[in-house]
């Protein structure tokens, strides 16, 4: 699959640290859908699907991890045929958040700048695929006229509406806290009072960042086991956990496992349909 890589070579006065520069390409860049592109630490890169240029809608993804680009490329191809897709990758958004232990104002400004890049590129809607910066997405919504989607919004609604006991698993503390806050707000809005149990898989995120998916998956599975008897449904707080969740679910010994990627695509499809007068 060929992807056009568009230059984003510009200074960012409001953004956070990204090793002093924005790395980008201007020629074609090709990768297999099952393999993430190689991106230097702190880099920003911008892909647009060459085969979808002659359509009237564009969906932009903003990622903080390279492993999510092929995941959402495959999902978009299957779930949103005919929609032009753009992928923007900015690893500094998650790196700075983890380093600070919280979402900082400079990272919020940087996300807003990336949403602006997406809108400038022609996006009709923007989907941010990182749960750790979810609160920044809500701020960005008030800045732009196009819909800016948080990856875990629909996941929270589905879990809260279907389960009285919800287990939430995360591999990063900076994801767990905003996810819990989102679920609590969602439950209040829906008039529900589920019992929510959280589990942090210490070391799993570092393992997958280093390419050790086996350790990541083992730690996630241990988290599932810890929550299984206490939960009517288990939520994977990060999109990067979906693959491990699918493997665990195939064993058939866990309550329903809810992940965000497919639900986020469902939400994006609904939003694009409404913009096109089909909703």
What does the domain layout of the chain look like in residue ranges? 2-151+262-275, 153-259
pLDDT band at 46 (very low <50, low <70, confident <90, very high): low
153-259: CATH class:
alpha beta
Residue 12 pLDDT: 38
Query: Which has the minimum average pLDDT: 109-123, 179-193, 204-218, 260-274?
Result: 204-218
Q: What is the mean pLDDT of the chain?
A: 83
Residue 279 pLDDT: 54
Q: What is the pTM of this model?
A: 0.81
Of 263, 226, 228, 219, the C-alpha closest to 249 is 228
Query: Which has the minimum average pLDDT: 9-23, 119-133, 245-259?
Result: 9-23
pLDDT at 16 over 70: no
Q: Using CA atoms of 142, 176, 113, 123 in order, give the dihedral in degrees to the nearest 10.
A: -70
pLDDT at 28 over 50: no
pLDDT at 272 over 70: yes
Determine contact, residues 149/134, Cβ cutoff 8 Å. Answer: no
**CATH 3.40.50.1860 is right for the domain spanning 2-151+262-275:** yes
pLDDT at 151 over 90: yes
| Domain 2-151+262-275 identical in fold to domain 153-259 | yes
Give me 128's structure tokens.
Answer: 């941010």
Residue 17 pLDDT: 32
Q: What is the DSSP string of 224-255?
A: HHHHHTT-SEEEESSGGGHHHHHHHHTT--SS
**How many angstroms separate the CA atoms of 236 and 245, rounded?**
7
Residue 55 pLDDT: 54
């Amino acid at each position: 699959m060929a992807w056009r890589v568009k230059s984003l070579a510009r200074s960012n006065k409001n953004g956070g640290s990204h090793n002093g520069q924005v790395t980008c390409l201007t020629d074609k860049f090709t990768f297999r859908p099952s393999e993430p592109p190689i991106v230097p630490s702190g880099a920003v890169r911008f892909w647009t699907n060459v085969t979808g240029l002659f359509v009237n809608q564009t969906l932009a993804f903003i990622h903080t991890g390279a492993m999510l680009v092929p995941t959402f490329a495959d999902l978009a191809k299957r779930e949103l045929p005919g929609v032009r897709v753009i992928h923007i990758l900015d690893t500094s958004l998650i790196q700075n958040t983890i380093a600070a232990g919280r979402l900082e104002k400079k990272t919020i400004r940087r996300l807003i700048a990336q949403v602006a890049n997406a809108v400038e590129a022609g996006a009709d809607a923007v989907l941010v695929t990182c749960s750790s910066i979810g609160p920044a997405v809500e701020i960005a919504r008030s800045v732009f006229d196009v819909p800016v989607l948080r990856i875990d919004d629909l996941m929270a609604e589905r879990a809260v509406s279907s389960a009285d006991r919800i287990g939430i698993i995360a591999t990063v503390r900076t994801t767990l806290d905003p996810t819990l806050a989102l679920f609590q707000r969602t439950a209040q809005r829906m008039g529900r009072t589920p019992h929510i149990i959280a589990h942090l898989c210490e070391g799993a995120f570092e393992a997958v960042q280093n390419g050790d998916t086996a350790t990541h998956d083992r730690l996630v599975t241990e988290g599932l086991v810890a929550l299984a008897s206490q939960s009517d449904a288990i939520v994977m707080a990060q999109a990067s956990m979906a693959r491990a969740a699918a493997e665990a679910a195939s064993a058939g010994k866990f309550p329903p496992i809810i992940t965000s990627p497919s639900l986020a695509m469902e939400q994006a499809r609904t939003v694009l349909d409404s913009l096109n007068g089909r909703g």
